[in-house]
Amino acid sequence: MQGEFEGRVAIVTGAGAGLGRCHALALARAGAKVVVNDMAGPDGSVGEAARSVVLEIEASGGEAVAEPADVSSFAAVEAMMARVASRWGRIDILVNNAGILRDRSFAKMDMADFDKVVAVHLLGSANCCRAVWERMCRQGYGRIVLTTSCSGLYGNFGQANYAAAKTGMIGLMATLQQEGSKYGIRVNCLSPLATTTMTEGLFAAEDAARLAPEAVSPAVVFMASEQAPEKTIIGAGAGVFTVVHLVETQGVYLPPEARSPQDFRAAFAAMSDISTARHFDTGFDQAAGFIQTANRARGAAA
């Protein structure tokens, strides 16, 4: 592993604490040069949290630099990426981890808080991806990790803003993988579960101990490696690693005269039959699936 990551440059956003810190340390142990991104201090300089992570990496014999930047600002992200490229000549790995919470039930949520969460998580990830994209294409190599969440996959009360942003990561991943594949870029999603300041108090003490953030980071190192998969959602928590599949049932063709709510109700069980589930690589594949099912039904009725 050390040889594989030697000379690779990795950027981890929101790496001053929690999961981001653990990702940065793990990538440094694997041999990568690591950019520890975090919010700037009050005077715009490198914050103490990011500086501390850099010192940890250096104490272990690794190479790292702290880079303050608000990921929701494309100008700030572009400037950061330019500094990194000037320093090390390349950018191989981008781990989009930066995030915030503004939890509240939807009826009570201030839409400014909705906007802010989406801006940091989803727009912030898109900003970082866009700022490294052309360089990765020219290099013919890139590894991008986006961070989704169980909230984005399954929903959580009081997190409509966070869930919407995290679900957006899945569509971003799927499209970037299609566009980046021919350039040697692989894009994947991490769905982590860990005890951090963002989840403090949610788990019993014994469970919280198992959900240490460092138990998630091996998945990031894998997705940052040459052996990385493509367009894959890896769930990680407590040392358990899963793959989340987005699939669609074969469905049921309803002729024009049989599309009332009552007809849907009668066909819903067959429509929902998971045994017919299939995976689509692109949106066009879904369209082809619709047409095939409709043609098959028409042919059987003829």
What ranges in the chain are assigned the alpha helix state H? Answer: 2-5, 18-29, 48-59, 74-88, 111-118, 124-139, 150-154, 160-180, 205-210, 217-223, 261-271, 283-301
- Are 236 and 219 in contact by the 8 Å Cβ rule? The answer is yes
Q: What pLDDT tens digit does each residue of the chain (302 aa) get? A: 457 899 999 999 999 999 999 999 999 999 999 999 999 877 777 899 999 999 999 999 999 999 999 999 999 999 999 999 999 999 999 999 999 999 999 999 999 999 999 999 999 999 999 999 999 999 999 999 999 999 999 999 999 999 999 999 999 999 999 999 999 999 999 999 998 766 666 777 888 889 999 999 999 999 999 999 999 999 999 999 999 999 999 999 999 999 999 999 999 999 999 999 999 999 999 999 999 999 999 888 76
Looking at residue 46, what is its pLDDT?
83
Distance CA 278, CA 286 (A): 10
d(CA 289, CA 36): 44
144 has which bridge partners? Answer: 94, 187
Residues 135-155 pLDDT 10s: 999 999 999 999 999 999 999
pLDDT, residue 262, reads 98
Task: Look at residue 274 in the predicted model and tell me its pLDDT.
Answer: 97
Question: Which of 27, 9, 24 is closest to 90 using CA atoms?
Answer: 9
11, 91 contact by CB (below 8 A)? yes
Residue 47, Cα to own-chain centre: how many angstroms? 24
- Tell me if residue 13 falls in helix, strand or coil: coil
3-state SS class at 101 = coil
Q: What's at 148, amino acid-wise?
A: T
**Which amino acid, one-letter code, is at 175?**
T
Q: pLDDT digits over 67-80, tens only?
A: 999 999 999 999 99
Cβ atoms 204, 156 nearer than 8 A: no
Q: What is the pLDDT of residue 302?
A: 64
Domain boundaries, the chain: 2-244, 256-301
pTM: 0.94
User: Which residues participate in catalysis according to the annotation?
Assistant: 162
CA separation for the pair 172, 273 (Å, rounded): 28
CA 281/CA 231 separation, integer angstroms: 9
User: Quick one: which of 150, 289, 157 has its CA closest to 233?
Assistant: 150
Torsion sign (Cα): 116, 120, 122, 126: positive
- Please tell me the CATH code under which domain 2-244 is placed: 3.40.50.720
d(CA 89, CA 82): 10
Q: Is the dihedral of CA 195, 117, 179, 75 positive or negative?
A: negative
